[in-house]
Amino acid sequence: MSQTVVNQYITGGKGGAGGQGGVYGGDGGLGEGPTLYQKIKAKYITMNMVQSPTVVEGSRVVNSCPPASRIFHGRRTILDAMHQFFTQDTKKQKVYVLYGLGGAGKTQIALKFIEETMCFTEQFLLDASTTETIQNSLKNITSQDALTWLAGKYENWLLFFDNADDPTITLNQFFPRCNHGNIIITSRNPSLQMYGTSFQVSDMEESDAVALLLNSSQQEVSASNQLLAQAIVKYAEAKELWIIEVENQTRLHGEDGLNTLALMNNLANGYHRLGQFEEAEKLQSDILEKRRRLLGEDDLYTVTAMHSLAATYHVLGRFEDAEKLKVIVLEKRRRLLGDDHPATLDAMHNPAATYHNLGQFEEAAKLSLVVVKKWKQLASDDHPKTLDGMHSLAITYDALGCFKEAEKLQVVVLEKQKKIFGEDHSDTLKVMNNLGYTNYHMGHFAEAEALQVVALEKWRKLCGEDHPDTQHAMQHLIRTYHSLDKQTEAAELEKLLK
């Protein structure tokens, strides 16, 4: 047996004064102890054991990872990416961040991966919702200082920081200081991407959602049931659920309740992602006004609301309005968080994009160079934020007519994006489409067509015909077709433009 993996979890027994044991554990009195389940996986053997002692001291409950939901389905793209990442021999501590809206399934994806993999010798689940819960979870690992103990434990252990949503927590203070071990983080906060490789968890593919619906409702997988399930999934879009939740929170906490505003923000993000920018702008303006009044101008949640509204102004073509907000956001984040904080660098990146759209390309290039340099220092050459900055810089070089410099950057970024996110990820497709457009500007029409045809086909499958990114890819390919004198192909695509 070459490698053994122990995955254990605990269900609470009849506790003493401390009450029932739970997933995260906690203090308990003397009583009937919890039941310990151990699942031991090895190359040639799988063994499950159940142990339930009569009396135990309930002072420490090991916070190991429970199994994923029995109706978990799909998410193979994310799971495969995680398997590929954690099986690499990097000689460094590995950190993987799953981020996205609440309810997107981040925790279940992480648990399913942990259940599937044989990479880890031990797994420890940490409630990362507050500093106190993190500290308590670490105390439950060992009677010693957990971070020191893990740093000296030269094994392939895993720390799973679940629900790390609080933007005020500096999470890496709870990482063991060593070059071994593994860390998974789930969060609603996209700025946590700075800690390592990341994947944005969004809504399920329709086929996965249909299969999950049939599985959870215990319906036969027949042709008629699949058609019915497809109809239900199409109508049960995420935005409708957020609308219902906003209405519920408004009844419970009022229009100005912080929980209501948080859900309104999720709904606005949903509108933005669906390309419904006018609806997003209305909500984001309301959220910003209320957060200013309730929390003040300098509260980080207020600043984040400004940042989101500026991004929507940008895609609506209101570049001057976007620039005004982005300048304020950058100044406040520099003062509140410092120049090297990920949120500050994001704010620095956005004015660069606005300068570009205002035709101030030299200013955009200067700012993009600073952003790329800082992300390389803060994270790595291969970090998604570094690559995003390099891509923005390439677009600006293209606008300045520096096509060779743009092409060099785009080729590097595209290759790295494919390795990190895969061929079908939206970030990969954006780089592919823009590299095609750079080839078009250089007069390399055949090379441009090859890239743009692939990008458009993948955008269609990913987002549909009417999505702004699909439409943008169509416009680029139409110009290339005209240059290649493929007027019939160009005319067919022009019929689909909105």
pLDDT tens column, 249-290 = 787 778 888 888 888 888 888 778 767 889 899 999 999 999
The strand pairing partners of 99, in sequence order, are 187, 200
Is the pLDDT reported for residue 3 higher than 50?
no
Is the pLDDT reported for residue 432 higher than 50?
yes
Six-digit token pair at 128?
A: 């990362």
pLDDT cut 70: percent of the chain above it: 76
Neighbours of 46 (CB within 10 A): 10
| DSSP characters over 210-239 | HHHHHHHTT----HHHHHHHHHHHHHS-HH
**Domain range list for the chain:** 10-20+27-57, 76-200, 206-235
Over residues 118-138, the mean pLDDT reads 93
Report yes or no: 408 and 391 within 8 Å, Cβ to Cβ.
Answer: no
Contacts of 90 (CB under 8 A, 6+ apart): none
Is the pLDDT reported for residue 214 higher than 70?
no
Contacts of 23 (CB under 8 A, 6+ apart): 9, 10, 63, 66, 125
pLDDT cut 90: percent of the chain above it: 41
Question: Which pLDDT value is given to residue 50?
Answer: 37
254-263, 282-291, 343-352, 368-377: least confident range: 343-352
| DSSP characters over 143-158 | SS-HHHHHHT--S--E
Report yes or no: 98 and 184 within 8 Å, Cβ to Cβ.
Answer: yes
Question: Which pLDDT value is given to residue 465?
Answer: 84
Is the pLDDT reported for residue 292 higher than 90?
yes
Over residues 393-398, the mean pLDDT reads 90
Question: Which pLDDT value is given to residue 487?
Answer: 95
Instruction: State phi, psi for 133 to the nearest 5 degrees.
Output: -70, -35
Convert the pLDDT of each residue in 141-172 to its tens digit: 988 999 999 999 888 999 999 999 888 899 99
Q: For the whole model, what pTM was predicted?
A: 0.46
Question: Which pLDDT value is given to residue 242?
Answer: 63
CA dist 73 and 79 (Å) reads 11
Six-digit token pair at 177?
A: 């200081």
Convert the pLDDT of each residue in 77-107 to its tens digit: 889 999 999 998 878 999 999 998 776 788 8
Question: Which pLDDT value is given to residue 437?
Answer: 95
Pairing type for strands 123-127 and 35-42 reads: unpaired
Angle at 261 between CA 259 and CA 264, to 5 degrees: 115
pLDDT band with cut points at 50, 70 and 90 for residue 441 = very high
CA dist 429 and 442 (Å) reads 20
**Average pLDDT, rounded, for the chain:** 79
CA dist 275 and 2 (Å) reads 51
Of 97, 160, 74, give the one whose Cα is nearest residue 420.
Answer: 97
Is the pLDDT reported for residue 236 higher than 70?
no
| DSSP characters over 93-159 | -EEEEEE-STTSSHHHHHHHHHHH----S-EEEEE-SSHHHHHHHHHTT-SS-HHHHHHT--S--EE
Return the CATH fold of 76-200: Rossmann fold (3.40.50)
Is the pLDDT reported for residue 318 higher than 50?
yes
CA dist 150 and 467 (Å) reads 47
Question: Which pLDDT value is given to residue 227?
Answer: 56
Task: For residue 268, give Cα distances in angstroms to 233, 255, 274, 286, 480.
Answer: 21, 15, 10, 10, 35
